[in-house]
């Protein structure tokens, strides 16, 4: 499987298409990522009236008087997503979006993206998953944060019954913003590979931690898709910025994963060409003892 790095913009664009364009340009040119991912929500479908009309739980991060107003402020419509996809294609990166409800799934499917993401919060939304299985032919990426092992099995079996499991990519994930290292639980990647590696297309890793060391380890453990939240400025208003990488951090992550990918090989021969000069000069020669 090919290695891929996803820059998850999510709603870090602050509801501004010009800022979203800067995200795409920066992630593609400076950071050299493979995929840029946004989010799509139909907020009145996703939220109860009480949730929609309640204040934001953390008012300092709110872009509206109510949580519903806040979410609507950050939401791009389908035509705007068409433009985001066009910009991604112009910069040679893959466009993708997380879908949070059935209406959003139908809208984004109409754009025929290479992949669609199911966030951890929605991985038991079987009505939406069923519709996607029946009407969308690309890769279906699904995060497993906040999910029990019994629920994992139910999800994979659901895709197997619909013969879409070989299009399914499962992500090891801990849902927190940010996640302390002790809660990242990297060995879940190994467990998922052992449990589901032959049943699904691929295993990925979606990280909400700080720094990039964990992602390199995740790749080494066999997660060929690494997804990280991305921002242009971690001090901006919003809940995701603190757990996001800024451009230089994301650039370093892509660079280091490429280096590790090149290094993850066996020796092609006992003594490599690079070693032969040193062997002739330094290697202790065995002598006969009298």
Q: pLDDT digit of tens for each residue in the chain (290 aa)?
A: 579 999 999 999 999 999 999 999 999 999 999 999 999 999 999 999 999 999 998 888 899 999 999 999 999 999 999 999 999 999 999 999 999 999 999 999 999 999 999 999 999 999 999 999 999 999 999 999 999 999 999 999 999 999 999 999 999 999 998 999 999 999 999 999 999 999 999 999 999 999 999 999 999 999 999 999 999 999 888 778 888 999 999 999 999 999 999 999 999 999 999 999 999 999 888 766 65
CATH of 4-282 given 3.40.50.300, 3.20.20.70, 3.40.50.880, 2.60.40.420? 3.20.20.70
Contact by Cβ (8 Å): 125, 154? no
CA angle 86-75-96, nearest 5°? 40
CA separation for the pair 58, 35 (Å, rounded): 30
Give the global pTM.
0.94
Contact by Cβ (8 Å): 145, 206? yes
Contact by Cβ (8 Å): 165, 199? yes
């Amino acid at each position: 499987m090919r290695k891929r790095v996803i820059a998850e913009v999510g709603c870090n664009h602050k509801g501004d298409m010009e800022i979203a364009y800067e995200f795409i340009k920066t992630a593609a040119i400076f950071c050299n990522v493979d995929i840029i991912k946004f989010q799509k929500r139909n907020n009145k479908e996703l939220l109860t009236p009480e949730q929609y009309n309640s204040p934001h739980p953390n008012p300092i991060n709110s872009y509206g008087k109510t949580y519903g107003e806040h979410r609507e402020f950050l939401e791009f419509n389908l035509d705007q997503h068409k433009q985001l996809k066009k910009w991604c294609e112009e910069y040679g990166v893959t466009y993708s979006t997380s879908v949070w409800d059935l209406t959003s799934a139908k809208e984004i499917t109409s754009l025929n993206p290479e992949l669609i993401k199911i966030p951890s919060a929605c991985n038991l939304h079987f009505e939406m998953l069923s519709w996607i299985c029946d009407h969308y032919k690309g890769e279906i990426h699904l995060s497993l944060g906040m999910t029990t092992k019994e629920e994992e099995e139910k999800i994979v079996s659901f895709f197997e019954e619909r013969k879409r499991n070989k299009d399914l990519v499962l992500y090891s994930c801990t849902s927190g913003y940010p996640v302390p290292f002790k809660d990242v639980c990297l060995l879940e990647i190994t467990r998922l590979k052992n449990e589901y590696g032959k049943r699904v297309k691929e295993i990925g890793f979606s990280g909400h931690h700080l720094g990039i060391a964990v992602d390199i380890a995740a790749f080494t453990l066999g997660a060929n898709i690494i997804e990280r939240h991305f921002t242009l400025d971690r001090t901006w208003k919003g809940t995701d910025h603190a757990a996001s990488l800024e451009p230089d951090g994301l650039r370093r992550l892509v660079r280091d994963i490429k280096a590790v990918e090149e290094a993850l090989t066996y020796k092609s021969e006992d003594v490599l060409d690079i070693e032969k000069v040193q062997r002739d000069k330094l290697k202790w020669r065995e002598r006969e003892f009298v």
